[in-house]
Amino acid sequence: KEFGIDKALEELGLNQDINNGTSTGEDFFSSGEVIESYSPVDGALIGKVRATTKEDYDKVIAAATAGFKEWRTMPAPQRGEIVRQFNDELRRLKEPLGKLVSYEMGKSYQEGLGEVQEMIDICDFAVGLSRQLHGLTMHSERPGHRMYEQYHPLGVVGIISAFNFPVAVWSWNTALAWVCGDACIWKGSEKTPLTSVACQNIAARVFASNNVPAGISCLITGDYKVGEFMTKDERIPLISATGSTRMGKIVAKEVAGRLGKTLLELGGNNAIIVTPDANIKNTVIGAVFGAVGTCGQRCTSTRRLIVHEEVYDKVKNAIVDAYKQIKIGNPLDENNHVGPLIDKDAVKNYQNALDKVVEEGGNILVEGGVLEGEGYESGCYVKPAIAEAENHFEIVQHETFAPVLYLMKYKGDVANALELQNGVRQGLSSAIMTNNLREAERFLSVEGSDCGIANVNIGTSGAEIGGAFGGEKETGGGRESGSDAWKIYMRRQTNTINYTTELPLAQGIKFDL
């Protein structure tokens, strides 16, 4: 109440009672179990959402399949105009939506607003894109022939998203998929069901006011079993799934089994390399924000700091000092840097990681621990911790979704640091802090970082929507958001047109009858 949550819920059209978590855009309905959403901020019940059953899902996929047939015939710039209107609504509702994201997920209010800003930015991008779904033209080898390629809408896109970016990831997919002419069915995280309903309320209103058929923006709610309705469904040509590598491996197998396409955005294990002539002040800011921001629950959070021995002690002391200044508490209070973890399971994982790193021979530099007492009643607030560790430790190889930073040393050439940085199974984000041009270019070269994101003199955390976002290896290989990531939401067709009276064959083949 103190932070205006009730008002935010009202502005977003959420009931205090039970909200329906199934929607075709035209209707909201649901006959599954009730999911209660508790805030990690104060442990209070925020609201309830009724989950989707198979029967509910069947209605949704029928609406999406039928809706797609009309939507695909609308000129792309007109689809873009609807995305523009959706964006106007996001701008209008930025504060309540940002607040709900913060309260339901636990990230700071600034980051909640930032997440909605990402939605706004991707919609702007999508509106422009709606006039630029370009294909190439090629010169045919045959006389009197014209050859080109075009992109057509793909169909119904299934979007499965994680709790930590409960609204932005949906929009990265959906804003592009909509202008590409696809219908979307979204299953948000069962840990953040109210933000999903809030977003669907906005989209449904905008689509209805444009007399667009039902089914272009659909919502389903529930855990992995509800996600499986989509992954097993041959009517869905593309599943875009964001979440853990564990989930991605299951989804990839399921969808590949029916030769569907996947766009996978999975776990990271991101490192910053700190070379001898790095700017230490910026290194500390980048590393601390990367490690403790969103309480270490970003796929791009900094997990490992690989520091040259010459500056190791200096960096270590500066970071340890910086951690002393971190304020942990209610993320809606802008004086705090770090909010809670999402739930008590996440707290357990965090504690396990700290136990494990000690068992494997690590040295704790900044003690962790679960906070208790006033303001910490939800039991989800933990202290960001730092441990000196070796890259090969099993726990270091693993993504712990919490504020645990591993510090390690490298000697000699930057190639040694690169070996450590690339020596994990994940390949999402990476960074080097250096003023040495040779080292920076080496890091970006073919022998450098093997990640989808490689930054120089900024941290690993966060990204702008203009670039393609995603990573290699166990991160899943998918790319979404900017650049040409839109192509996955369309099917490519190569067209050759013969405008002569002859029928010459390619490769000079003769076939006389």
Catalytic residue numbers read 265
Question: Residue 52 interacts with ligand NAD (CB under 6 A)?
Answer: no
The CB-of-435 to ligand NAD minimum distance in angstroms stands at 30
What angle (nearest 5°) sits at the alpha carbon of residue 118, between those of residues 112 and 120? 110
Return the residue of 26, 70, 124, 223 that touches ligand NAD, per CB under 6 A.
223
Return the residue of 42, 118, 399, 450 that touches ligand NAD, per CB under 6 A.
399
# of chain residues touching ligand NAD (CB under 6 A): 29
| Cβ-based nearer residue to ligand NAD, 161 or 195 | 161
What angle (nearest 5°) sits at the alpha carbon of residue 128, between those of residues 122 and 133? 105
Cβ density class 297-319: b for 16+ within 10 Å, e for less: bbbbbbbbbbbbeebbeebbebb
Return the residue of 29, 38, 148, 224 that touches ligand NAD, per CB under 6 A.
224
The CB-of-277 to ligand NAD minimum distance in angstroms stands at 31
Six-digit token pair at 81? 């105009």
| Cβ-based nearer residue to ligand NAD, 214 or 271 | 271
| Cβ-based nearer residue to ligand NAD, 368 or 470 | 470
Candidates 155-163, 288-296, 411-419, 454-462: pick the segment binding ligand NAD (CB under 6 A).
Answer: 155-163
Candidates 183-191, 307-315, 316-324, 459-467: pick the segment binding ligand NAD (CB under 6 A).
Answer: 183-191
Question: Residue 251 interacts with ligand NAD (CB under 6 A)?
Answer: yes
Candidates 11-19, 46-54, 237-245, 443-451: pick the segment binding ligand NAD (CB under 6 A).
Answer: 237-245
Return the residue of 37, 164, 201, 294 that touches ligand NAD, per CB under 6 A.
164
CA atoms within 13 A on the CB side of 110: 9
- Residues from 401 through 460 that contact ligand NAD (CB under 6 A): 401, 428
Question: Residue 265 interacts with ligand NAD (CB under 6 A)?
Answer: yes
Six-digit token pair at 94? 């930025």
CB neighbours (10 Å) of residue 372? 10
| Cβ-based nearer residue to ligand NAD, 312 or 401 | 401
CA atoms within 13 A on the CB side of 468: 16
Return the residue of 41, 116, 133, 162 that touches ligand NAD, per CB under 6 A.
162
The CB-of-200 to ligand NAD minimum distance in angstroms stands at 15
Burial class (CB in 10 A: 0-12, 13-18, 19+), 335: exposed
The CB-of-487 to ligand NAD minimum distance in angstroms stands at 18
Continuous segment of H or E residues that includes residue 358: helix 344-359
Return the residue of 30, 37, 171, 189 that touches ligand NAD, per CB under 6 A.
189
Tokens 């919502």 found at? 219
Beta bridge partners of residue 218, listed in sequence order: 185
- Residue 289 three-state SS: helix
Measure the CA–CA gap between 114 and 339, rounded to whole angstroms. Answer: 15
CA atoms within 13 A on the CB side of 275: 22
The CB-of-270 to ligand NAD minimum distance in angstroms stands at 10
| Cβ-based nearer residue to ligand NAD, 181 or 227 | 227
Return the residue of 158, 237, 260, 268 that touches ligand NAD, per CB under 6 A.
268
Return the residue of 108, 242, 421, 460 that touches ligand NAD, per CB under 6 A.
242
CA atoms within 13 A on the CB side of 412: 6
Candidates 70-78, 154-162, 333-341, 493-501: pick the segment binding ligand NAD (CB under 6 A).
Answer: 154-162
CB neighbours (10 Å) of residue 35? 20
Measure the CA–CA gap between 100 and 195, rounded to whole angstroms. Answer: 7
List of E strands, 105-212: 137-138, 145-153, 156-160, 183-187
CA atoms within 13 A on the CB side of 293: 21
Beta bridge partners of residue 149, listed in sequence order: 494
Return the residue of 101, 123, 299, 387 that touches ligand NAD, per CB under 6 A.
299
Measure the CA–CA gap between 285 and 31, rounded to whole angstroms. Answer: 48
Question: Residue 57 interacts with ligand NAD (CB under 6 A)?
Answer: no
| Cβ-based nearer residue to ligand NAD, 239 or 328 | 239
Burial class (CB in 10 A: 0-12, 13-18, 19+), 194: buried
| Cβ-based nearer residue to ligand NAD, 308 or 473 | 473
Measure the CA–CA gap between 204 and 19, rounded to whole angstroms. Answer: 15
| Cβ-based nearer residue to ligand NAD, 311 or 463 | 463
For the chain, give the number of residues. 513
The CB-of-262 to ligand NAD minimum distance in angstroms stands at 11
Residues that bind ligand NAD (CB under 6 A): 160-165, 187, 189-190, 223-224, 227-228, 231, 242-244, 247, 250-251, 265-268, 299, 399, 401, 428, 475
